[in-house]
Each structure stands twice: as C-alpha cells, then as structure tokens.
Amino acid sequence: MSVLVQARGLGKSYPRVFRRSDRLRALVNLLAGRASGEVTPVLQDIDLKVARGQSLGLIGDNGAGKSTLLKLLTGVLTPTHGRVEVNGRIGALLELGAGFHPEYSGRDNIAMSATLQGFSADELAARLDDIVAFADIGHYIDEPVKHYSSGMVVRLGFAIVAATRPDLLITDEVLAVGDESFQKKCIRWMEDYLDQGGTLILVSHSMYHIQKLCRQALWLRQGRMQACGDVFEVTQAYLAYHERKSAGEDSRARDLDAVRGLEFHVRTMRVNGEEAETLPALEQGAALTVEATIASRDGRVPVVNIGIARGDGTPVYGVSSDMDGVQPAPLPDGDYRIVLHFAELPLLPASYTIRVHPLDSEGMRLFDTVERTLTVRGRSPESGLVRLAHVWEHAAPLSRSRSE
C-alpha cells in the first residue's frame, strides 16, 4: 500500500511577539535569515504516515495543533523542523472562504477553482451542474461570495472538492458548520469516497463522526502526539481523559493516619488481583472481581458498599452487602474480607472508578472510601454507560461499515 503523506520530526514554532518591538525584531531577524530568539512551539516531533485508502481522525483540545498540522501537510505553512512528503493530489477544506475571491460569484469561484485544479473547459462544463446541485445554495450561486453565510461557503467548498475527487481529502471541522441535511450529504459522500479507495484526514470534535468515518485516529495534546492507532482505542482514551478532567483529577488524597483511627477502614483493595491505583485496561464484556479487606477497630462486622462511577463522577452502579443479605467473612487477624464478582461486565468503553466504602453494622454511617481507576476498552460505537442485550427485528444488515 503506497504512502500518500509522510511527516518526519515535524514541528512548527512562532516567535514570541507580545509588543510592537518584538514584531519588528522578529521581522528583521527573518529578513536577515537569523533565528528569531524566543519562540513558542505549536507542534513538536510529529511522525505520521498516511497510506492510500486510509482514513485518519485527528482529535484534540482547541489549541492542540490540529489545524497547524493540516496546514503543514497541505503546504500552507512551512515547518520549522522536520519535513513532509506528499505523493498525490490533495483536496483541503481548512478555513471558511480559503481560496475563494469574495467579490466573485459562487459560479465564478467554481470556474477559478476548477482551473487551478487543472480542469479543461470541457471538463468544467461537464461537471458544473453537479457542483451547483451538490452545493444547493439556490440563486446565491450567482451572488458574490462575500454575501454568503458560513454554511453556504462550506457547501460551495465541499461541492468543489467532491467534484475533483482528490487522492487525499483533508477537512477541518466542516461537519460542524453545515446544517443537518448537508452534514448527512457530506457523510454519505465521504463513505462512498472511502469505499472507492479515497484517503481521508478528518478533524472533528465529534467522536461519533470520527468513529463512523475513520479506522485510525491521532490524538494531539499540547502540540505533541498523545496517542495514535486504532480509532476506538484512541477516541476512548481521549474521552476518558476529558471525563477525568471534568471530575477534577486533583481530588483530596486519602489521609491514612486519620482513617486508621476510625471504626472501620479499608486495609486493602484489589481489582482482578491488582492493587495499583490505575488498573490495566479491561476488555468490554470481561469479568471483574473486586476484593476488599476491611479493618474493624472493635471487632464488629462492617457493611460494605461497592460502586462503579464513570470517570466524570456519574454513578453507574452500586450494591451493598446488607441489601443482598451477605456479610464479609472474618479473618484470623480480626479483619473482614469480601469479594464481589461480575461474570460479564456490561460497561461500554470509557474510564471508570471502582469504589469500596465500609459502613457501620447498621449501614448508616460511611467511614472510608478507596478508589481504583479502570479503563474499559472495545470497538463499540454505542453511547451511554452500559450495553443492554438487544435484538433488531425485521431489519437487514448494512451493505458496508466504516468501522469494520
């Protein structure tokens, strides 16, 4: 499989220009061919290879460097470090209105873009009606582009790219601008384009569209590659990161000296035999075993609650030993041990927290909490918290699936 785009050690930095004198100094250094002094790195150490027929989703927070990377790949920007090799014709939708003359009509801009793409007059005449129909902006096709809404500009730009059918299509948040009917049209076109061997790099904050259209994903974080690989693994790691971020990762640490003086506290907690605070990833549908040893100051039997919450703190499931009519087993040293087993965990891929809470014998007062972070991984595009067994009736299978 041939490689369309390859980046090696790619990086981009800009000079720091907080004051007018900084800008002047940076310009003088640029004209003199000297280094610009202090710089702000936007993108660093990017190694990327996009093969023909591949579909890559580019994800990350705002300011992570996604748009900068696309501009480097398409030659809009020159890299500060590293190099980019392109072996094919690229069609790019990077910014609203990029490449359009605002004073020209939509029809004139189509002709200008087609000419730049190497279309002959006969080829343009043969495809013009299809481009106008795909854009579907009515009489505005003969109005100056400066009168267009952002959605109309995207419609026109995508219609031109669709007509040229490039070797590599690069889109930056195009699906976030158009209306719903146009989004559906774009998705259908991109699925057909990929099925016919096209290559796609898609930037989107919609993990649904990334998972639907792409087989691979690259997660950029603060200008660096955080993860790259299978689309489901990378997007699930990205979503788990945001869930932990929303919940606040800097939660107050457990005070061991304080809990040891309580009536009950958790002495040990194991999940699938592991005591680490961050557990190895678990495949969707696998078994889960939570084991806890509870210290009892006065020898009384504790009640134990075990709960599961999503990474952002949303409760998923909780169960109490006394409500199920069981109690922890006594150990020779005066502690109590309890084990909870889930034969087939129905959690959807995401980041979760497993919690153990010892309560008094009446189940009224909570004394301690111990948590472990667990990531469930899998190739499920379903949404929500858990997977419910289901069967579709009177339905035929789709002829194709981008997630396969």
Distance CA 291, CA 218 (A): 37
**pLDDT tens per residue across all 404 residues of the chain:** 688 899 999 999 887 655 666 666 666 666 666 655 667 788 999 999 999 999 999 999 988 999 899 999 988 888 988 999 988 888 887 766 667 888 989 999 888 888 877 788 888 888 888 889 988 888 999 999 899 888 888 888 888 888 888 889 998 876 666 677 888 888 888 899 999 999 999 998 888 889 888 999 999 999 999 999 989 888 888 887 887 776 665 455 566 777 778 899 999 999 999 988 878 888 999 999 999 999 998 899 999 999 999 887 888 999 999 889 999 999 999 999 999 999 999 999 888 999 999 998 877 788 999 999 888 888 887 888 888 888 888 777 766 544 44
CATH code for the domain in which residue 88 is found = 3.40.50.300
Distance CA 176, CA 161 (A): 17
Does 231 share its domain with 332? Answer: no
For position 379, what pLDDT does the model report?
A: 81
Does 282 share its domain with 221? Answer: no
Q: Are strands 55-59 and 216-221 parallel, antiparallel or unpaired?
A: parallel
**pLDDT digit string (tens) for 192-213?**
999 999 999 999 888 888 988 8
User: Which residues face 376 on adjacent strands?
Assistant: 282, 350
Q: Structure pTM?
A: 0.66
Helix (H, G, I), strand (E, B) or coil at 239: helix
Does 196 share its domain with 273? Answer: no
For residue 305, what is the enclosing H or E element?
Answer: strand 303-310
Distance CA 308, CA 295 (A): 22
**pLDDT digit string (tens) for 214-270?**
999 999 999 999 999 989 888 888 887 887 776 665 455 566 777 778 899 999 999
Query: What is the DSSP secondary structure assignment for residue 140, as one 8-state letter?
Result: G
Q: Is residue 57 part of a domain?
A: yes
Helix, strand, coil share (%) of the chain residues, nearest 5: 30, 30, 40
The domain boundary residue, chosen from 194, 217, 245: 245
Does 218 share its domain with 110? Answer: yes
Does 29 share its domain with 166? Answer: yes
Does 212 share its domain with 359? Answer: no
Does 231 share its domain with 281? Answer: no
Does 239 share its domain with 308? Answer: no
Q: Which of 99, 213, 70 is nearest to 158 (CA)?
A: 99
Q: With contact defined as beta carbons under 8 Å apart, do 209 and 184 qualify?
A: no
Does 240 share its domain with 260? Answer: no
Q: Which of 386, 279, 290 is nearest to 341 (CA)?
A: 290
**pLDDT digit string (tens) for 114-154?**
887 778 888 888 888 888 998 888 899 999 989 988 888 88
Does 304 share its domain with 236? Answer: no
The domain boundary residue, chosen from 245, 271, 299: 245
Does 131 share its domain with 177? Answer: yes
- CB-based burial of residue 116 (10 Å sphere; 0-12 exposed, 13-18 middle, 19+ buried)? exposed
Q: How many domains does the chain have?
A: 2
Rg (CA), the chain: 28
The domain boundary residue, chosen from 245, 273, 306: 245
CATH code for the domain in which residue 309 is found = 2.70.50.60
Q: Which domain holds residue 335?
A: 256-377
For position 254, what pLDDT does the model report?
A: 63
Torsion of CA 388, 394, 398, 403, to 10 degrees: 0
Helix (H, G, I), strand (E, B) or coil at 175: helix
Does 296 share its domain with 220? Answer: no
